[in-house]
């Protein structure tokens, strides 16, 4: 029995949803409410963050560890290369995306979206506990303040993350201009990581959250900086998601 504890909006959770779906692993998704997740995840897995995967009585926390676990236990359609050199390369690229893309995308997107509670609350509460929307509306003002403090989100950190992202995306685009995959001849965990963590910029249909009908102009402007540089991501979503 596999259970994924997650936020639908989270791109680190999307990385794991994608890995589970790619490997055709039956699983249940439990959507936890931001804020209320803290105690629940700490009790389940030691730290507060999602994704957490529970397999029978065993809990694994963090997207990379979860993919390690899935490939070790369910050895079909593995996302980790077998060959030592390729495995190291995949791990390097995955760490690059985990550290230099995931947090930066989140910071810029939240810097914008937290100003739009009517958009972000439905995404935070999607398919969660029935009381989620009422509770979230009440706690949102203090929660968004805490989120900004905890993740150090402000105009200057958003500008810095934006600049870092432009560089990282150029780096990926020049790689994918010459190679079909990040590593070797097969689709794998480094591709999933790069594509999932940048997906909020593109908002693919099969990401796992209901994207808003109306996108704030500021978010459109942010995304438009990457026009023409993320075709590889759209291709991965089309062919492998
Ligand atoms: N390195 C972790 C990052 C996970 C992460 O940052 N999760 C965020 C959501 S995107 C989270 O749970 N934040 C709330 C918290 O840390 O309590 C991974 O790869 O899973």
Q: What is the pLDDT of residues 167-201, one digit of tens each?
A: 999 999 999 999 999 999 999 999 999 999 999 99
> Same domain for 207 and 128?
yes
CATH number, domain with residue 135: 1.20.1050.10
In this prediction, residues 64-78 reach a mean pLDDT of 98
In this prediction, residues 82-99 reach a mean pLDDT of 98
Q: What is the mean pLDDT of the chain?
A: 97
Interval between CA 13 and ligand 1 midpoint (Å): 8
Number of the ligand 1 atom closest to the C-alpha atom of 34: 14
Q: Output the pLDDT for position 227.
A: 97
CB 86 within 8 A of CB 181: no
Sheet holding 52-55, edge to edge: 28-31, 2-6, 52-55, 58-61
73, 93, 116 - which closes a domain: 73
Q: Which residue has the least CA distance to atom 1 on ligand 1?
A: 62
Confidence of residue 103 (pLDDT cuts 50, 70, 90): very high
The token pair that represents 125 in the structure block: 């509460």
Q: Output the pLDDT for position 7.
A: 98
Is residue 208, in this structure, part of any structural domain at all? yes
52, 73, 94 - which closes a domain: 73
> Same domain for 65 and 102?
no
Is residue 215, in this structure, part of any structural domain at all? yes
Domain encompassing residue 213:
84-240
Number of the ligand 1 atom closest to the C-alpha atom of 50: 12
Handedness of CA 57, 24, 183, 5 (dihedral sign): negative
Q: Output the pLDDT for position 195.
A: 98
Domain count, the chain: 2
Q: Output the pLDDT for position 151.
A: 96
In this prediction, residues 79-84 reach a mean pLDDT of 97
């Amino acid at each position: 029995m596999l259970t994924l504890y997650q936020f639908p909006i989270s791109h680190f959770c999307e990385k794991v949803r994608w890995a589970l779906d790619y490997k055709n692993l039956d699983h249940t998704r439990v959507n936890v409410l931001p804020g209320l997740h803290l105690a629940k995840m700490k009790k389940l897995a030691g730290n507060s963050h999602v994704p957490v995967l529970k397999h029978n009585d065993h809990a694994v926390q963090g997207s990379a560890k979860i993919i390690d676990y899935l490939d070790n236990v369910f050895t079909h359609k593995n996302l980790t290369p077998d060959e030592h050199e390729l495995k190291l390369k995949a791990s390097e690229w995955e760490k690059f995306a985990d550290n230099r893309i995931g947090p930066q995308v989140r910071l810029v997107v939240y810097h914008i979206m937290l100003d739009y509670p009517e958009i972000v609350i439905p995404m935070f509460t999607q398919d969660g506990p029935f009381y989620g929307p009422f509770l979230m509306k009440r706690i949102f003002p203090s929660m968004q303040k805490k989120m900004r403090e905890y993740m150090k989100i402000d105009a200057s950190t958003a500008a810095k993350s934006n600049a870092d992202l432009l560089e990282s995306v150029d780096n990926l685009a020049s790689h994918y201009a010459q190679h079909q995959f990040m590593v070797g001849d097969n689709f794998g965990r480094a591709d999933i990581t790069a594509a999932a963590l940048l997906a909020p910029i593109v908002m693919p249909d099969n990401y796992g959250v209901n994207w808003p009908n109306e996108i704030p102009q500021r978010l459109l402007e942010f995304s438009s900086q990457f026009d023409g540089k993320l075709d590889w991501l759209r291709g991965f979503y089309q062919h492998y998601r």
